[in-house]
Structure 1
Amino acid sequence: MRAPDDRADLELTVTAGDGAQRTERYDVKHFTVLKPSTVHGMPHAAGPVLVVTRRVSPDSVEALRVGGHSWVSLHPLPSGLRGELRIGDQLLELKPAPALHAEAGPSPGPGRPGTSTAQVMQELLWRGTVTQSELTSATGLSQARVSQVLNKLAKQPWLTAAGGRPVRWRVTNVNDLVDHWLTIYRPTKSVATFWYSLESLQNQVQAAIRSVGPSAWVSGGMAADALVPWSVPQSALIYTSSMQDLSRSGLVPSQVGEASLQLVITQDLAVPPSDSAKRVIKALSSTEPAFPVADPLVVLWDLDRSRDVDAHQSAQRFREALLGHLEADHAS
């Protein structure tokens, strides 16, 4: 059964692990429950088709594959598969997000840190002085993996190991640690969708978060403005762990250059703030942010790459406030 008058163009941009991006524009078709007969009866489309449904059966998925269509389902198949996106000659499978503290996967290659390295560096920054055991507890990584990461980071001039038992690791220069993290961090593979609305950015973000649910984190200019007001953001960036259709929240699919809101679907463990990062977020803000904010380092990373007017100055202000708080907090 198809929802009436519920189709629109949607532009998706996929970021691969090496940073390369591919973009595809889809004719979107919405269904409540998708049956194989419905797939067979769909009219021919001139371009790629993306089917969005609440529920899908394995037989329907097979019919979609035969037709060469992309699909996303709110409820996954028994295998856990939630969708398949065809972008050119590439096929991207959408699966449930792993636990936030899952062990890091295969090595991401030379010049780029693994997920566990980024997590440990973030926790070092937020805490200032910490033991290996505390890092293990905060990140969910194994003692052995945390030890490996610390042994590599021990060569950095901004980190020192204080004597005693247990050994306490102390950050001696928060500015250098931030520089190091921003230099080597690369987001994991992601899918971005782009949306537009005439509503205020604040209303757009609130509507999107209501649609996405608890696994949503605002980054970039909107997050920086909520914590350290400086400039007026012209666009919004939200991370989430699963594909979402925001058209039912009053937003319209948009091309990249015209979008007012970008929704990034990712499993990047650097994005959700840890308990330590949440304390920093709370300390930076004079009032409780109206929405969940991504890890402050990720916010700074996105600000540095934003196309918004005054984004560079906003990033400088945000960084100054962040470093000022951390230096005072670590000294106390």
Structure 2
Amino acid sequence: MSGAFDLVTDDPHFVVINGEVLAEAGTHGGSDNTGRAAWGRWAVQRVLAVAGRPLTQPMLADLTGISQQAVSQALRLIPHVSRGPDGWTASVEALEAWLSEYPGPKGTVTYWYGLDDVSRQAVTARELLEELELPSVTSGDLAADEYAPWQVPSTALLYIPELVDFTPVGLTPSDRLDATMQVVVPNDPTIIQVAAHMNAGRRHRIADPAIALWDLINTSTGPAADEAAGRLKARIAGGGFSG
């Protein structure tokens, strides 16, 4: 259209294509008023909350991608965890404590609309990302349905390391309310890190159960989201991810 323009900036994150705003910084999740985000501490907390078994400090450092010193500091601040002879474990209250404090992954979100069902849209998007040699992590409805089948997925959600244009695979830029797929470049660096370790040997990575649950609660538009969240919480509480 006349007067339309394109603009992409990194600081702040802002994307405009043909005069339409497609992505803005900080649109994914709540706010953090504590200053520097404690991504490492929150990662240790959520990993312990879903582990279902003791984890040592070296194991936690490997899973989250932070140093053992940072893990040690985090463990002194995290509620509802304790140390035993085989490592650190979390009580059943740990997950709710994490959910109440975690501000969301933050970062930059782009919204897309497609005519295929959301599972197929995610497959198509991942195929493009594979061609670009970029990792991706599936979360939200699709991840929750894989962990604890119940939810009828209404929206696809992918975490990726950088902005990508999905129009070559038939997806159309959309606003948040009409979107069938959300793609997030998160500020939280532990999402892709933890998923890589938890999905070792797996072609397509899904977010860890805590992140999938957070996204289900905070981003899903499906009518069965509450029931799906309850089912996923029950599986976490039952130690369903202790393998």
TM-score range, shorter chain: 0.7 to 0.9
What is the Cα-based RMSD across aligned positions, in Å? 3.3
Larger strand fraction of residues? 1
**How far 1:205 sits from its partner (Å)?**
0.8
Q: Which residue of the partner structure matches residue 81 of structure 2?
A: 159
Listed as ranges, the matches of 1:2-41 within 5 Å are none
Per the alignment, do residues 151 and 311 of structure 1 end up closer, same or farther by CA in structure 2, a change over 3 Å counting? same
**How far 1:132 sits from its partner (Å)?**
2.3
Q: Normalising by the residue count of structure 1, what TM-score does the alignment of the two structures yield? A: 0.59
Q: Which residue of the partner structure matches residue 8 of structure 2?
A: 71
**How far 1:138 sits from its partner (Å)?**
3.2
Q: Which has the larger radius of gyration?
A: 1
Listed as ranges, the matches of 1:62-101 within 5 Å are 70-71=7-8, 85=14
Distance 1:111 1:93 in 2: 20
Q: What is the aligned counterpart of 2:89 among 170, 188, 193?
A: 170
Q: Which residue of the partner structure matches residue 230 of structure 2?
A: 316
Q: What is the aligned counterpart of 1:186 among 95, 103, 106?
A: 103
1:182-234 deviation per Cα after TM superposition (whole angstroms, max 9, x unaligned): 11111243111111111121221111111223421111111112232213112
Per the alignment, do residues 297 and 255 of structure 1 end up closer, same or farther by CA in structure 2, a change over 3 Å counting? same
1:206 equivalent to 2:128? Answer no
Distance 1:275 1:203 in 2: 22
Per the alignment, do residues 317 and 269 of structure 1 end up closer, same or farther by CA in structure 2, a change over 3 Å counting? same
1:165-195 deviation per Cα after TM superposition (whole angstroms, max 9, x unaligned): xx83232x2x311111111111243111111
1:232-268 deviation per Cα after TM superposition (whole angstroms, max 9, x unaligned): 1122111111101110011111222211111112242
Q: Which residue of the partner structure matches residue 250 of structure 1?
A: 170
**How far 1:297 sits from its partner (Å)?**
0.7
| DSSP 3-state at the match of 2:185 | strand
The residue type equivalent to 1:141 in the other structure is I
The residue type equivalent to 1:161 in the other structure is R
Q: Which residue of the partner structure matches residue 196 of structure 1?
A: 113
| DSSP 3-state at the match of 2:103 | coil
Contact 1:119 1:269 in 2 (8 A): no
Distance 2:57 2:66 in 1: 11
**How far 1:323 sits from its partner (Å)?**
2.1
| DSSP 3-state at the match of 1:268 | coil
The residue type equivalent to 1:235 in the other structure is T
Q: Which residue of the partner structure matches residue 215 of structure 2?
A: 302
Q: What is the aligned counterpart of 2:43 among 105, 110, 119?
A: 119
Q: Which residue of the partner structure matches residue 46 of structure 1?
A: 3
Q: Which residue of the partner structure matches residue 53 of structure 1?
A: none
Q: Which residue of the partner structure matches residue 240 of structure 1?
A: 160
1:49-99 deviation per Cα after TM superposition (whole angstroms, max 9, x unaligned): 22xxxxxxxxxxxxxxxxxxx137xxxxxxxx7996368xxxx999xxxxx
The residue type equivalent to 2:209 in the other structure is P
| DSSP 3-state at the match of 1:130 | coil
Q: Which residue of the partner structure matches residue 269 of structure 1?
A: 189
5+ long unaligned stretches in structure 2: 17-22, 26-31
Contact 2:109 2:183 in 1 (8 A): yes
5+ long unaligned stretches in structure 1: 1-26, 28-44, 51-69, 73-80, 95-107, 283-287
Contact 1:71 1:83 in 2 (8 A): no
Distance 1:196 1:223 in 2: 19
Distance 2:13 2:225 in 1: 35
Distance 1:204 1:309 in 2: 20
Listed as ranges, the matches of 1:137-156 within 5 Å are 137-153=62-78, 156=79
- The size of the alignment, in residue pairs, is 225
Distance 1:199 1:148 in 2: 46
